Amino acid sequence: MAASGGYNYRNGTQRSSLKVDRPLSVNSNPKSSSVKSKPLSASGGVRRSSTGSIGASPVAGAKDDAGVPGRVRVAVRLRPRNSEESIADADFADCVELQPELKRLKLRKNNWDSDTFEFDEVLTEFASQKRVYEVVAKPVVESVLDGYNGTVMAYGQTGTGKTYTLGCLGEEDTAARGIMVRAMEDILADISLETDSVSVSYLQLYMETIQDLLDPANDNISIMEDPKTGDVSLPGATIIEIRDQQSFVELLRLGEAHRFAANTKLNTESSRSHAILMVNVKRHVKGRDPTLSNENGSHMVKTLKAPIVRKGKLVVVDLAGSERIDKSGSEGHTLEEAKSINLSLSALGKCINALAENSAHVPVRDSKLTRLLRDSFGGTARTSLIITIGPSPRHRGETASTIMFGQRAMKVENMLKLKEEFDYKSLSRRLDIQLDKLIAEHERQQKAFKDEIERITLEAQNQISETERTYADALEKERVKYQKDYMESIKKLEEQLMMNQRNYGSEKITNGPKDNSTDVTSNKENLSALEEVVELKKMLQKETLLRKAAEEEINNLKNQISQWKRSEAAGNSEILKLRNMLEDETNQKEKLEEEIAILQSQLMQISFQADETRKQLDLNEPGKILGGLDSLMEQVRHSQLKDSGNEEKASIAKLFEQVGLQKILSLLEAEDADVRIHAVKVVANLAAEESNQEKIVQAGGLTSLLMLLKSSEDETIHRVAAGAIANLAMNETNQELIMAQGGISLLSMTAANAEDAQTLRMIAGAIANLCGNVVIDCYHLGITLTIDKIAHHSDKLQTKLRGEGGIKALLGMVRSGHPDVLAQVARGIANFAKCESRASTQGTKTGKSLLIEDGALPWIVQNANNEASAIRRHIELALCHLAQHEVNAKDMIIGGALWELVRISRDCSREDIRSLAQRTLTSSPAFLAELRRLRINY
């Protein structure tokens, strides 16, 4: 908290710390130092090198190596004198003396005696904000980036500068920025916005009640502890994802505006609550990607390793200042606040004493503050504590108490633990994509293989046919040619023979016997004829040889044809072999599809187990069903709306992009119940984002969700479907569609048959949205509508709700008795009453309230002073709105609502409701007459 006098710091000197790959295990417990004790050893290096760390000595490097990384590191910071102290204590010396080079502090007892204490770091009044951050918080921030939990906490008397040290925004002077702003700058500079994420929650612990500084209406957040790991979580807190430094500063400014503060004698603006900033960092560690290899024609998964995700949580705690009542001058409500602050700080001191003394019992459950800081002291987080003191001798007792608190805290050791887990969702997405690629590649190769076989077969058949035709034609031509030559040669020989015979016979008859000379001549002629015959015979033999040669050629051609036929047979056998290989590939494809089915079933089982675990932890507002198919994702998703080009969105958004909305909606009608459950969860998560709602309705998602309420008997489907409808009912157009399709009747029927409190909570939230969110959305979003249009829509919606049993369904769900269900019932009644009140004021409604006619007034009066603030606040609003219409006054007086209105006008903690009740009572003649009759002055 800011001191009365302003700070004026100089930039401190920088020191380098030892660079270590990761924190070591916890060693021995260091003792707190006094003037007679040995100096403390302090180290605490992390992976990165920084410009300073707690305990870093400028002269002795060995001292850095001998410390205990898990021990709580404590630094002391002195505030300069403010204007009041400069005047009042002008004649007195400071009660403390700092020796920063020795890391010592002397606390004066009197003018001649003092006590000496050693700390990990001693910061003078001239130390700059940058120096404070580097020696106190930066090592913790670096540990968080490495996957460890870390805590930075400020403790001290009121007005000593805790809030200035931690939460100063530095808007006018950037050098004045506090630890919160500087820590987020380092975190955003180190992470990758494409793969990593940073989300924050900002809370305050006020009067033993945890309240959300980012959503003031969320004023009673419960603490949950994991029975196995002991981790503490706040499932009801608002979580905002951070993408840039400016949005973080705006969140801090919004939270500080909602924090309780008061003026005391010690500080003009004293924080009356403990502020807690939680920063969750999720980082992906690069590893081997899954690969597929081919061995003997079969695909086998050789390496399958999920990406590693490291999750670190930084907790920055700005404790409210301890104070003495006689010095602070607290009285009335401020006195009660001071008592609550001192009790929680006392409980924290008891826990630290028990841890410092190694006590068997640590009373962590004595206060919500100690429960929240369970991991910071004696847990697994790396913790740095900065204690702030003032120089005034008037507050020596408080200064001594603060110093002793820091000394005891230095004895506490934590066991640092790395937060790592495997990102199976990312692995499953990569496997699905890889399987799709493999299947597509396999089908492409198979088709190419079939086409190649057909092409080779066709070419072989064409070539064989062409060869057969060619040789058949050549053989036929040769045969015809040789046969023709042969016949011509025979014919010539026969003609020549006949001619010779005729010539020889005629000569013999004509000439008769001749003399010897004539015989000799005749013999010569005969010899010549015989020679011709011999020659003809030779020619005939030659022709015979040629014929044989032609026949041999024909045989050769036949042999070649046989060889071609054998080649064709070999080709057919090769084709058969290829077909066998194709069948083998088909069998391998079937096996691969079976493996894909097994992987998909395993993926569905993992998703189901994750959803079951998440269902136990899901305590968010109705209609906001957060799946995990991651984070996200996002609880608050403004970063996705702001920059659509960024990768690594929420896991549900990626599923939406990869699979497609129509395919997801088609799974709502699947025969497998588990598939339907997973599908409706995905649709519910998509419906949580306004940008997806119109697409879901246009694709028929609303009709499918209503059909699930009507046809399914599974209560899980009823619960998730009702949550999705509640999200869609936030839109005016969707409200008309839900009414037109009988959604109110279906929700009422489902509520009558449901037993599970969470299912009733979702149904009540959906009906509550239908009761009046159209008006709320118009004012919240800045939409300008005419009065007649708003009144007409509200009156139509209310008549439809009442006619189809919506009010009676709300009243029927109070049988559950669960606080969350009752809170949603109260919200629905408040919305309904608000719309009726507006319609009555505008003159569009004249009759008695439909809530009173349906018998809601007794339950409203009964719960007007309910212990749960969420129920009480909505019921008080409903009573005020009902009382604004004079026609309801008589029934409210008879039902006892008048007494509750009087109580609200006097005792309600919220000023706006209290003022509304006062105006309502003073403006109603019937109420004023009844109060006068009862002699109640108002």
DSSP at 293 = E
Q: How far apart are CA 636 and CA 242, in angstroms?
A: 10
- Residue 10 near residue 53, CB atoms below 8 Å: no
Q: CA-based angle 763:766:770, to the nearest 5?
A: 140
Q: Is 378 annotated as a binding residue?
A: no
Residue carrying structure tokens 């077909």: 579
Q: What does residue 503 show for φ and ψ, rounded to 5 degrees?
A: -65, -40
Residue carrying structure tokens 């500087």: 182
Helix (H) or strand (E) holding 421: strand 420-422
Q: Is 467 annotated as a binding residue?
A: no
Q: How many CA atoms within 13 Å lie on the side-chain side of 416?
A: 27
* Residue 332 Ramachandran class (φ > 0 left, ψ -120 to 50 alpha, else beta): left
DSSP 245-265: HHHHHHHHHHHHHHS-EE--S
Q: Is 156 annotated as a binding residue?
A: yes
- Residue 678 near residue 687, CB atoms below 8 Å: no
Q: Is 402 annotated as a binding residue?
A: no
Q: How far apart are CA 204 and CA 275, in angstroms?
A: 4
Residue 104's beta-bridge partner residues?
99, 118
Q: How far apart are CA 152 and CA 138, in angstroms?
A: 10
**Who contacts 313 (Cβ-Cβ below 8 Å, separation ≥6)?**
144, 149, 150, 278, 279, 280, 281, 381, 419
Q: How far apart are CA 19 and CA 220, in angstroms?
A: 43
User: Quick one: 169 exposed, middle or buried, by C-beta within 10 A (0-12, 13-18, 19+)?
Assistant: middle
Q: Is 158 annotated as a binding residue?
A: yes
Q: How far apart are CA 280 and CA 739, in angstroms?
A: 41
User: Quick one: 398 exposed, middle or buried, by C-beta within 10 A (0-12, 13-18, 19+)?
Assistant: buried
Q: Is 157 annotated as a binding residue?
A: yes
| Residue 393: other Cβ atoms inside 10 A | 15
Annotate 889-911 with b (16+ C-beta within 10 A) or e (fewer).
beebbebebbebbbebbeebebe
Question: For the chain, give me the number of helices (H) and strands (E)?
Answer: 33, 19
User: Quick one: 360 exposed, middle or buried, by C-beta within 10 A (0-12, 13-18, 19+)?
Assistant: exposed
Q: Is 922 annotated as a binding residue?
A: no
Which amino acid does the sequence have at 507? E
Q: How far apart are CA 332 and CA 733, in angstroms?
A: 50
Q: Is 812 annotated as a binding residue?
A: no
**Who contacts 638 (Cβ-Cβ below 8 Å, separation ≥6)?**
240, 241, 247
Residue 281's beta-bridge partner residues?
198, 312
Q: How far apart are CA 882 and CA 901, in angstroms?
A: 11
Residue 156's beta-bridge partner residues?
388
> What residues form the annotated binding site?
156-163
Binding site members for ATP: 156-163
